[in-house]
């Protein structure tokens, strides 16, 4: 099937098998390798991308379901060589270790902060609870999201 998806701002048209998973389309057809696969049961969230601005687990969608819609992956977060505040905060707060969960975590955090720019710790923990991290114990991820929230509100002032 022929699909057209807006990926990180540019339209991409490809021929895909109807059963191809969205995550395989992103990784193997588009060559964007920041989305990973970590489970078979929609549990881990390392495959998370933003579909029309909202987080989805791309292992649990077919590529054809994204036809006509827009996707943001981690590769689209930085603009003009400038890290997104969420990316910068994951770095400054040591919010990553092996980095495998990181793209998904950061995309969830970005979408969440757009909806809730001044969240509590509890709200942040709830927001990222669909994404597992095996390395950090989450505390520095929470700190990173808080730091990003502060930086984003400074910028928008």
Partner 1 sequence: MTTVETAPSAEHPGWMGKSVPRIEDARFIAGRGNYVEDVVLPNMLHMAILRSPYAHARIVSIDSSAAMALPGVVAVVTGALLAEHKLAWMPTLSGDTQAVLATDKVRFQGQEVACVVAEDRYVAHDALELIVVDYEPLPAVVTPQAALEDGAPLIRDDKDGQVDNRVYHWEAGDAAATEAAFAGADRVVSLTTFYPRSHPAPLECCGCVADVNPASGKATIWMTSQAPHAIRTVFALVAGLPEQNIQIISPDIGGGFGNKVPVYPGYVVATAASLLIGRPVKWIEDRTGNLISTGFARDFHMTGELALDGAGKMLGLRVKMLSDQGYAYADAQPSKFRAGLFHMVTGSYDLPAAHVVTDGAYTNKAPGGVAYRCSFRITEASYLIERLVDVAAVEIGMDPAELRRMNFVQPDQFPYRSATGFVYDSGDYAPALDLALEQVGYAEVRAEQQARRAAGATKQLGIGIASMTEALGAGPSRDYDILGIKMFDSAELRVHPTGKAILKLGVRHQGQGHETTFAQIVAHELGIPPQDIVVQEGDTDNTPYGLGTYASRSTPTAGAAAALVARTLREKARKIAAYLLEVAEEDLEWEADRFSVKGAPEKVKTIQEIAFAAYTNHPQGMDAGLEGVKYYDPPNLTFPFATYIVVAEVDVATGEWTPVKVVAVDDCGVRINPMIVEGQIMGGLTEGYAMAAMQQIAFDEDGNCIGSNFMDYLIPTAMETPHFDLFDTCTPSPHHPLGCKGVGESATVGSPAAFVNAVVDAVSHLGVRNIDMPVLSSRVWEAIHAAPG
Tell me how far CA of residue 143 lies from CA of 14, 49, 88, 109, 139, in angstroms.
Answer: 39, 22, 12, 11, 6
Q: Given the rule CB under 6 A, which residues bind ligand FES?
A: 37-39, 42-47, 57, 59, 96-102, 133-136
Residue closer to partner 1 (CB basis): 68 or 78: 78
Burial of 101 (0-12, 13-18, 19+ CB in 10 A): buried
- Kindly determine how many residues on this chain lie close enough to bind partner 1 according to the rule CB under 8 A: 57
- Shortest Å distance, C-beta 117 to ligand FES: 24
Considering only 102, 109, 111, 113, the residue that binds partner 1 (CB under 8 A) is 102
Which of the choices ligand FES, partner 1, none does residue 125 contact, using the CB cut-off of 5 to 8 A by kind?
Answer: partner 1
Note whether 99 binds partner 1 by CB under 8 A.
yes
Note whether 128 binds partner 1 by CB under 8 A.
yes
Note whether 14 binds partner 1 by CB under 8 A.
no
Query: Could you tell me which residues come within 8 angstroms of residue 145 by beta carbon, excluding any fewer than 6 positions away?
Result: 86, 89, 109, 112, 113, 119, 124, 127, 128
């Amino acid at each position: 099937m022929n699909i057209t998806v807006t990926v990180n701002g540019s339209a991409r048209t490809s021929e895909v098998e109807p059963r191809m998973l969205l995550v395989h389309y992103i990784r193997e057809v588009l060559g964007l390798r920041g989305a990973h696969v970590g489970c078979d049961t929609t549990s881990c969230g390392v495959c998370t991308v933003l579909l029309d601005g909202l987080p989805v687990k791309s292992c649990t969608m077919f590529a054809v379901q994204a036809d006509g819609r827009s996707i943001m992956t981690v590769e689209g977060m930085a603009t003009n060589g400038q890290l997104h505040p969420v990316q910068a905060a994951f770095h400054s707060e040591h919010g990553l270790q092996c980095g495998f969960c990181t793209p998904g975590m950061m995309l969830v955090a970005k979408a969440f902060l757009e909806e809730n720019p001044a969240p509590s710790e509890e709200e942040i923990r709830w927001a990222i609870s669909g994404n597992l991290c095996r390395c950090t114990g989450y505390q520095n991820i929470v700190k990173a999201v808080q730091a990003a929230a502060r930086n984003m509100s400074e910028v928008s002032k």
